[in-house]
Amino acid sequence: MQLSALGTRICILGPSNSGKSTLAVAIGRKLGIDVIHLDQLHHIPQSDWRPRPAEEFRALHDEAIHGSQWVMEGNYTSCMPQRLQRATGVILLDVSTPTSFFRYMRRTLVQGNRVGALEGGRESIKWDMIHYITVVTPRNRRRYRDMYRQISLPKVYLSSRQAIHGCYQAWGLER
């Protein structure tokens, strides 16, 4: 599928540390549209990843989806219905749990600052995040695949690092 078929309000879904933020920035740059990182809306800046109150996050999310053009990356299933109503296309990254874990470790130990990071947030290994990636994420991957199958919007399914790399090449995206 061509990138243009996804329209100008694109949702990127997938497990933590699958490459959603990097892909969103590459697509936003290519199309000249805003990129919205849901983690940045969900967490309080300068807080080391402390969540906002749910009502505040929902208000920020709902304001963001009313924009005319965006690439939005992140899951937050509590807000998924209204996001998908506004979306014109969906991309699901469905990389393996070991891949997500490797990316998390590389990001925190080697890279430091990353695309989509929280302003003032520290990248460090957190046991809660390791648990999330290794225990919670496998269940979520199944749920996202089921949700993806039910979506009637134009959509792209990328099930591996190789598939994601191929997508970058096919769409002429730069990291």
3-171 in CATH: which number?
Answer: 3.40.50.300
Q: Does residue 39 or residue 125 have the better pLDDT? A: 39
**Length of the chain (residues):** 175
pLDDT in the model for residue 117: 64
pLDDT 10s digits, 143-169: 999 999 999 999 999 999 999 999 999
pLDDT in the model for residue 71: 98
pLDDT in the model for residue 120: 61
DSSP E strands, the chain: 9-13, 35-37, 70-73, 89-93, 155-158
- pTM listed for this prediction: 0.91
Instruction: Please report, as a single letter, which amino acid is at residue 64.
Output: A
Q: What are the structural domain ranges in the chain? A: 3-171
pLDDT 10s digits, 75-123: 999 999 999 999 999 999 999 999 999 988 888 887 656 666 667 666 7
DSSP 156: E
pLDDT in the model for residue 166: 97
